[in-house]
Amino acid sequence: MGKKDFSDLEDQIRDTINNAFNAIDFAGIKKDISGKTEENLNEVKSKLKDKSQYFNEKIERKIKNKYEKVAKISKREKGKEQMYICKRPVGSISGILYTIFGFIFSCILGILMIIYPMITSLFSPFITFSYISLGILSSFFGASVILALRGSYLRKRVKRFKQYVKFLNGKDYCSIEELASITRKKDKFVAKDLSKMIKLSMFTEAHIDDKKTCFMLNNEVYQNYLNSQEALKQRNEDELKRQEQSNEKINDPRQEELMRTIEMVKNYIKQIESANDAISAEEISTKLYRLQNIVSQIINYVEKNPKKLREVNKFTNHYIPITLKLVNSYKELNDQPVQGDNIKSAKNQIEKSIDIINIAFEKLLDDLFEEIALDISTDISVLETLFTQEGLTKNDFKK
């Protein structure tokens, strides 16, 4: 193939490619792509908007339910509170009527009392009758004034009642001092005022504590108060008994000696335990644990059986102190950085001594239970004898 042929072939390829690109509608493709992209974006936005609206509605629904629930609880608590508070307190109407009529009658009768002497002075023959009439008018005037004052007193009490209710505001109890502060009255006056309101059923289930310091709106709170007071009283009585028992123990020389001995031995046990914690050798540590256990059992038994204190006198005053001294000596020897023959020999002797001490203390503990073992043996013998007499033993059944 010649050079010309290759040139023609190149031209043909170039023309073919140009024609292919020309045939492609890039503008249309771009438009389609833009349209598809916009369509997809709109679809995503629509979905997001729907989801956002769904979640917003869900959140609003939750908030609404929450507030409705709170409102219901508040309404229920308010309704519960209204059960214990009179809706129309004594004096709310009568106080107004007393005040109005008392004031009207007082004014009318007051004017009559001023005018009447002037009129009757013109008729001297009726002067005796005028004095009697004036006395009657004065009596009615005094009754009218009292009626007006009574109305004023009732209205003021109703006003204080509303102040008390407003301050409670859902609370089941409060202090008398707090109520006194809002009414600007003394505690004693408020306590007496509340007692009167309770008697008049203005507070249907209310109570005041014995010390006149706390106001309780209903029986439930009052019962809780009584229970707590009873528990407090019981605790005080128990504490008083413990103090009396403690004083008796202190005043008793034998009990004092027992307490002192127990405290001393427990202190020895703590020191042995401390020394044991500082010793890393497993063999001697095991022996010391055994020693602590035996000594603890002995002293616990003596604490429950004070009569055995004399039997362990040497144990508490001689054996335990010497044992503690040996343990501390072993600890000091074990702490030495250089373990020579003398130190090793001394440690071996102490270890053997601890074994002997443990055996001796176990024997002492066993001896303390000798009386109990004897009593048990006696009881068993008695039972066996009774069973034999009644023909309840095994041999008797075989016969």
User: pLDDT at position 36, please?
Assistant: 53
Q: Where are the domains of the chain?
A: 253-368
311-335: pLDDT as tens digits? 788 888 888 888 889 888 888 888 8
Average confidence score pLDDT of the chain: 76
Closest CA to 214 of 168, 158, 268, 147: 168
Q: What pLDDT is recorded for position 95?
A: 84
Please report the pLDDT score of residue 54 as a whole number: 56
The contacts of residue 312 (CB under 8 Å, 6+ apart) are 298, 302, 364, 368
394: confidence class by pLDDT, cuts 50, 70, 90 = low
**Reported confidence tier of residue 20, pLDDT bands at 50, 70, 90:** very low
pLDDT at 375 over 80: no
Check if the beta carbon of residue 275 is closer than 8 Å to that of residue 287. Answer: no
Q: Which residue has the higher pLDDT, 56 or 238?
A: 238
Question: What is the rounded distance in angstroms from the CA atom of residue 70 to the CA atom of residue 76?
Answer: 10
Lowest-pLDDT choice from 18-32, 189-203, 281-295: 18-32
Mean pLDDT score, 221-250: 82
Q: Can you give the pLDDT at residue 293?
A: 92
Whether 110 and 141 have beta carbons less than 8 Å apart is answered as yes
> pLDDT tens for residues 161-174?
888 888 888 788 88
* Nearest residue to 329 (alpha-carbon basis) of 288, 370, 365: 288
Per-residue model confidence as pLDDT tens digits over 67-125: 455 444 444 544 455 677 888 888 888 888 888 988 898 888 888 777 766 666 665 55
Please report which confidence band the pLDDT of residue 192 belongs to, taking 50, 70 and 90 as the band edges: very high
Write down the pTM of the prediction: 0.43
Contacts of 343-351 spanning 24+ positions with Cβ under 8 A: 347/284, 350/326, 351/283, 351/284, 351/287
Of residues 26 and 117, more confidently modeled: 117
- Whole-number pLDDT of residue 130: 65
Q: Average pLDDT, stretch 37-63?
A: 57
